[in-house]
Structure 1
């Protein structure tokens, strides 16, 4: 988490004076540039009102820019007496966990779409994420100053993909010199469709799209109809149908209602200085966008609060955005500062967070991700609000609906709930995507190995979309990441933040061995080297069992051929050899071993001797029976837009899979994947795929579906490896492949 320039107003205390806006869009669409222009426009507006504005920090070095593109970033300013918190989310699919954190902390989303590049697949996926969360949305079109940009065509594309509720609120037009072109923006001006009425310029002509009075009037009518459709005032429709003029004040009053309902999505254009495509200078439309935040975006009072429970699972209090209610806040982002320690970005949903008080830190429900349930008390040593590069501005209290930064909450992790120690509660956990890309790593030096566990524990506490797995079978340390960019960031943070250098290694898939058929084997361990020797002979019979049966050891010795005290020794040796495998070094499963005979010596037989004999006997028997390699098979569910079903199924077929079902998906949830609110038809493809073929699927599925496909995977069973692939593991040693 990084914080940037703000104009702090300690007198803002009411819910109606706060706007929490999420900036959403693909990398390269111009989110960061837009955010900086919004801060600059807000500073100018404050200065015009006679309020001091902080220095403008619109330049940034490469390191800061990189952090802004991969982290959830908070920027804060004020406009028209309201605090505006901008949550700038990463634009890469690998960091969709930060987007969901932003959805938890924000009240409305602003989609940043490049009019030059159009709407890509990832933007469509993000739109569906916001629709699934019920987040109100608006759209801003950037890079319109480019000669190839087309405002009307981009709006039409957005309407096709996101629905008919996408309607322009302003139109960019280029006026002839006689009408007074806007200096610095290539002669462009913005026409406010709500307030234009009959005051539309008489000779409008937009560059490349021929905007005229009729087209402006048509756009205005469509906008008014869209607002009226969501209005609660039925008299507006009657006035409109009767041809009566509608006052802009009436339309503005209902604009927020239309946006808040999530079916109306206003579009605003922004243009940078002429000749500076995507530049960070003064931006035409920034002030209008700030006005949209204050006039049309919902306040925190309209945010649907998460359900609360008690840490023991019982029902919690019904929460509302009331500063005087029970304290309920959530950590939506965690990071570590080398000088300050752990820093938590907190959204206060209910109550008031005060400095120098004790809070209950509660985290439950993420044990399977490596985050055990925990309940601790921590002291709020200091609260601050997002500020400029110099740090944060201290605050004594933060009320419901606002965001703040809390330092030194030692046990707090992303997703934890902060509440009163006298009345602890737990907020319903927000959905965190399951990482699907395994990246095996190995410490490069002994010094790095000593620090690796601690460093990974801290990174996992910051990033709930990262899972750290210590493979007992493979002996590997595996990082489960969202994609290649995510894994690069994790490894880079290990190096730069914690001084831990690691190398990537190929992940190992846990194979198994089993028998082709029954067989008999003898283990003879006889050694004499002076003094007591070692003597043990075991005869065993082995046979395969049905899949999933496990392993059995049966004692069928008669007549005391193997003394009773050595039977456990034989079993111990047999099971240890089964763990080690007999052909390729993988555990031997689904096998029954019967000890049928043997020999012992009254002096030289021992526990160690019979362990060795039992292991050798089962090894020889298994080799005689022939070995079949087994590989894990996964149940895979791929959710993809309809147009990509063909490439997805063809790719799965090339991965030795069996497609077991293809079904259209409607609203709601399917196999844990959010699909309601989707802007396009989607299909769920179910398949059974060998795990070895899925190691890079998290990367490949994005290429196949242009960033719009998602998938889940679950362990299913083990199946035989095809002979031509098994030979690579078993080699050509006689007797090992049957």
Structure 2
């Protein structure tokens, strides 16, 4: 075998990804059982697995966070990262994906999962992560595997390369034929497969499928292409070298078959990982990780965990060098991050203490409070160029949260920051206008689990509601009004008298204040006070108490008293005039209109158009999504009040994969019944 195809040595890190329900956690459990890392095959449904061991995961019977487990296989150490499959939780594990050597993509033989599979493969393709497709649940497959792979091909930019075909008996897969080894194996439930002889029929199927595999490989190798054209059989070493090189380069995606629940196909998968998967040197090169000249270590923080008793743990991959407990770490700019206190290996919810770790290992660094998910760490005081981090998706669901007990206000803010550290796809905003604390995420379930963690892990009882929509008020007509503030209560009194002209401005122009005073009837030093009084009145409009915008005010006349006039008196006069005049200016509500771009598989585009129309949206058009075969981008203008639960409806018509981005576009008048409902709700809240 050539240099490129040689088996790498040292610790390996493998991500297990795939659509929701495809069996990723069960596959991890099968791997741990087969390699002896656990004594018993744990059941996901019964809550006995190493992965999905958090309270929230077991309550919802789904992965809600990346789970990490370590095992040894044939003298090599492997760290597996089991990533959530639901689109709402996938992005929690994105920082971890950057530093893995390879991804095993788990998929069921079900064409309904193609959109979800495409989302996952696209994420790996953008990072150039080598990948293997494990076609799971073959015990339940009722269609021809080659036809299934052809159907799944739309989800992958690189060719799906079938490496194994099933051996059938009574329409059930009882074993497989390895097209590279040219050997047949019979499944044994929860035990290694048994080498068997191929029947004549299976031999013909193997020749045909193997030739298809070699044809695909030859697209990237001229020598192999020439051999096939001349009907010359390539050597086994050459075939494996092609398989290894083209998989590591991301040119092909090998497809293996099995059934994780019965541990079928697990040993062959492990051997492919061992002999064909890339190692840390390839990964460091892919990440453009520099070679330290001083022998220092370089690490990428993949995940942050806040434990109940041990403090913060920073799960990290060592890309260069080695570390020991007590090392001091620095950020990319050379600033000191802190001294590690404790070094641990991670096995699900358990940690195992160690004193040192070498390149390629995935370890947890204890109590580095200033180390955040996605950053690059080094033991060099000079710092290091930060490695690229992946952009997080735009949030699609929001919730205003507050503690039921006022005493938990400060605790809530600190705890939300911890949640966002553990899951960077959670965003927190302190809205200055509404005074609300708003939690943004990737869907209703995403935020529900976050609230469950607040209550279960941190003992904060939470109340939640839809965030307030930032309605505004404006005017349609002009008026002139006098405002007089006069008060006498002994000693100096208060006197301010103004005549102001109020008129509407064009949408988006905001506020303008002018004066056309002549003869000094209002001294210049009071102009600013009148303006401030006018602004005070604009804070709460006459209709529903929303801010008034797009208004011009001119101070045209007034009077003053040499003794009793003051800044405060003229400020009060300006406020009085505005409060009296605004109701006579035909006030009207304004609602924010968002530009919404919806990404959706094109078979759901007509349904999305209907959803947009039902939510008072204006359809601007749609076009093919760039670099996403079979997807559209639907663009529309939609009221912000209609976007709150939009993602729920979009995902219900798109096999759970639709997403959208919304940015503010303009304010628009709201009239009729919709306006009445907003005004009634605002007054009721008052």
Bin of the TM-score, shorter chain as denominator length: 0.7 to 0.9
Give the counterpart of 2:42 among 58, 75, 78.
Answer: 58
User: Structure 1 residue 637: deviation in Å?
Assistant: 2.0
Q: What is the CA deviation profile of residues 523-580 of structure 1, one whole-angstrom value per residue up to 9, with x for unaligned ones?
A: 2334556666544332211111222322122233333433455433322211111122
Aligned to 2:645: 696
Structure 1 355/553 Cα, relative in aligned 2: closer, same or farther at 3 Å?
Answer: same
Give the distance between the partners of 1:323 and 1:482, measured in 2 at CA. 42
State how 1:591-606 maps to structure 2 within 5 Å. 591-601=551-561, 604-606=564-566
Q: What is the CA deviation profile of residues 614-633 of structure 1, one whole-angstrom value per residue up to 9, with x for unaligned ones?
A: 11201222211111222222
Aligned to 1:9: none
User: Structure 1 residue 143: deviation in Å?
Assistant: 2.0
Q: Is the 8 A contact 1:306 1:428 kept in 2?
A: no
Structure 1 388/592 Cα, relative in aligned 2: closer, same or farther at 3 Å?
Answer: closer
Quick check: 1:451 aligned with 2:435?
no
Counting matched residue pairs gives: 655
Structure 1 732/462 Cα, relative in aligned 2: closer, same or farther at 3 Å?
Answer: closer
Aligned to 2:215: 225
Q: Is the 8 A contact 1:636 1:687 kept in 2?
A: yes
Structure 1 324/118 Cα, relative in aligned 2: closer, same or farther at 3 Å?
Answer: farther
Secondary structure of the 1:301 match is helix
Q: Is the 8 A contact 1:323 1:352 kept in 2?
A: no
User: Structure 1 residue 174: deviation in Å?
Assistant: 4.2
- For the aligned residue pairs, the C-alpha RMSD in angstroms reads 3.1
Give the distance between the partners of 1:79 and 1:692, measured in 2 at CA. 54
Q: Is the 8 A contact 2:428 2:438 kept in 1?
A: yes
Q: For structure 2, which runs of at least 5 residues remain unmatched after alignment?
A: 1-6, 185-194
State how 1:132-151 maps to structure 2 within 5 Å. 132-146=126-140, 148=142, 151=145
Aligned to 1:285: 265
Give the counterpart of 1:319 among 274, 287, 290.
Answer: 290
Give the distance between the partners of 1:375 and 1:520, measured in 2 at CA. 61
User: Structure 1 residue 173: deviation in Å?
Assistant: 1.6
Give the distance between the partners of 1:306 and 1:511, measured in 2 at CA. 48
Structure 1 240/152 Cα, relative in aligned 2: closer, same or farther at 3 Å?
Answer: closer
Aligned to 1:649: 609
Give the distance between the partners of 1:33 and 1:588, measured in 2 at CA. 57
Give the counterpart of 1:34 among 27, 32, 43.
Answer: 27
Give the distance between the partners of 2:158 and 2:450, measured in 1 at CA. 41
Give the counterpart of 1:129 among 123, 145, 166.
Answer: 123
TM-score w.r.t. length of structure 2: 0.87
Give the distance between the partners of 1:452 and 1:292, measured in 2 at CA. 47
Give the counterpart of 2:12 among 19, 28, 32.
Answer: 19
Aligned to 1:557: 517
State how 1:437-516 maps to structure 2 within 5 Å. 437-516=397-476
Give the distance between the partners of 1:566 and 1:236, measured in 2 at CA. 89
TM-score w.r.t. length of structure 1: 0.81
User: Structure 1 residue 20: deviation in Å?
Assistant: 1.8
Q: Is the 8 A contact 1:109 1:136 kept in 2?
A: yes
Q: Is the 8 A contact 1:252 1:295 kept in 2?
A: no
Give the distance between the partners of 1:117 and 1:56, measured in 2 at CA. 33
Q: Is the 8 A contact 1:27 1:92 kept in 2?
A: yes
User: Structure 1 residue 72: deviation in Å?
Assistant: 1.0
Give the counterpart of 2:65 among 62, 71, 83.
Answer: 71
Q: Is the 8 A contact 1:438 1:479 kept in 2?
A: yes
Q: Is the 8 A contact 2:138 2:173 kept in 1?
A: no
State how 1:523-562 maps to structure 2 within 5 Å. 523-527=483-487, 534-562=494-522
User: Structure 1 residue 661: deviation in Å?
Assistant: 4.1
Give the distance between the partners of 1:323 and 1:42, measured in 2 at CA. 38
Structure 1 326/700 Cα, relative in aligned 2: closer, same or farther at 3 Å?
Answer: farther
User: Structure 1 residue 326: deviation in Å?
Assistant: 5.0
State how 1:155-234 maps to structure 2 within 5 Å. 155-162=149-156, 165-174=159-168, 188-196=174-182, 201=197, 203=199, 212-231=202-221, 234=222
Structure 1 732/522 Cα, relative in aligned 2: closer, same or farther at 3 Å?
Answer: farther
User: Structure 1 residue 603: deviation in Å?
Assistant: 5.3
Quick check: 1:418 aligned with 2:408?
no
User: Structure 1 residue 439: deviation in Å?
Assistant: 0.6
Q: Is the 8 A contact 1:335 1:343 kept in 2?
A: yes
Q: Is the 8 A contact 2:330 2:383 kept in 1?
A: yes
Secondary structure of the 2:208 match is helix
Q: What is the CA deviation profile of residues 580-624 of structure 1, one whole-angstrom value per residue up to 9, with x for unaligned ones?
A: 223221111121111222244455544443322211201222211
Secondary structure of the 1:105 match is coil
Q: Is the 8 A contact 2:484 2:498 kept in 1?
A: yes
Aligned to 2:188: none
Give the distance between the partners of 1:246 and 1:353, measured in 2 at CA. 45
Q: Is the 8 A contact 1:437 1:480 kept in 2?
A: yes
Give the distance between the partners of 1:507 and 1:116, measured in 2 at CA. 38
User: Structure 1 residue 78: deviation in Å?
Assistant: 1.9
Aligned to 1:243: 231
Aligned to 1:10: none
Aligned to 2:324: 354
Give the distance between the partners of 1:650 and 1:388, measured in 2 at CA. 44
Q: Is the 8 A contact 1:574 1:618 kept in 2?
A: yes
Secondary structure of the 2:331 match is strand
Structure 1 409/151 Cα, relative in aligned 2: closer, same or farther at 3 Å?
Answer: same
Q: Is the 8 A contact 2:182 2:206 kept in 1?
A: no
User: Structure 1 residue 665: deviation in Å?
Assistant: 3.7
Give the distance between the partners of 1:575 and 1:616, measured in 2 at CA. 11
Give the distance between the partners of 2:657 and 2:326, measured in 1 at CA. 46
State how 1:341-380 maps to structure 2 within 5 Å. 341-362=311-332, 375-380=335-340
User: Structure 1 residue 453: deviation in Å?
Assistant: 1.2
User: Structure 1 residue 495: deviation in Å?
Assistant: 1.0
Q: What is the CA deviation profile of residues 17-39 of structure 1, one whole-angstrom value per residue up to 9, with x for unaligned ones?
A: 33221111122211111111111
User: Structure 1 residue 516: deviation in Å?
Assistant: 0.3
Structure 1 150/283 Cα, relative in aligned 2: closer, same or farther at 3 Å?
Answer: farther
Aligned to 1:5: none
Q: What is the CA deviation profile of residues 102-136 of structure 1, one whole-angstrom value per residue up to 9, with x for unaligned ones?
A: 32121221111123685243222112211222222
Q: What is the CA deviation profile of residues 174-194 of structure 1, one whole-angstrom value per residue up to 9, with x for unaligned ones?
A: 469xxxxxxxx9882222222
Structure 1 323/424 Cα, relative in aligned 2: closer, same or farther at 3 Å?
Answer: closer
Q: For structure 1, which runs of at least 5 residues remain unmatched after alignment?
A: 1-13, 44-52, 177-184, 205-210, 273-278, 309-317, 364-373, 668-677, 734-738
Q: Is the 8 A contact 2:540 2:546 kept in 1?
A: yes
Structure 1 247/466 Cα, relative in aligned 2: closer, same or farther at 3 Å?
Answer: same
Quick check: 1:265 aligned with 2:225?
no
Give the distance between the partners of 2:680 and 2:73, measured in 1 at CA. 72
Secondary structure of the 2:383 match is coil
Q: Is the 8 A contact 2:533 2:574 kept in 1?
A: yes
Aligned to 2:4: none
Give the distance between the partners of 1:343 and 1:58, measured in 2 at CA. 26
User: Structure 1 residue 460: deviation in Å?
Assistant: 2.0
User: Structure 1 residue 348: deviation in Å?
Assistant: 2.2
Give the distance between the partners of 2:237 and 2:71, measured in 1 at CA. 26
Q: Is the 8 A contact 1:442 1:505 kept in 2?
A: no
Give the distance between the partners of 1:112 and 1:722, measured in 2 at CA. 51
User: Structure 1 residue 445: deviation in Å?
Assistant: 1.0
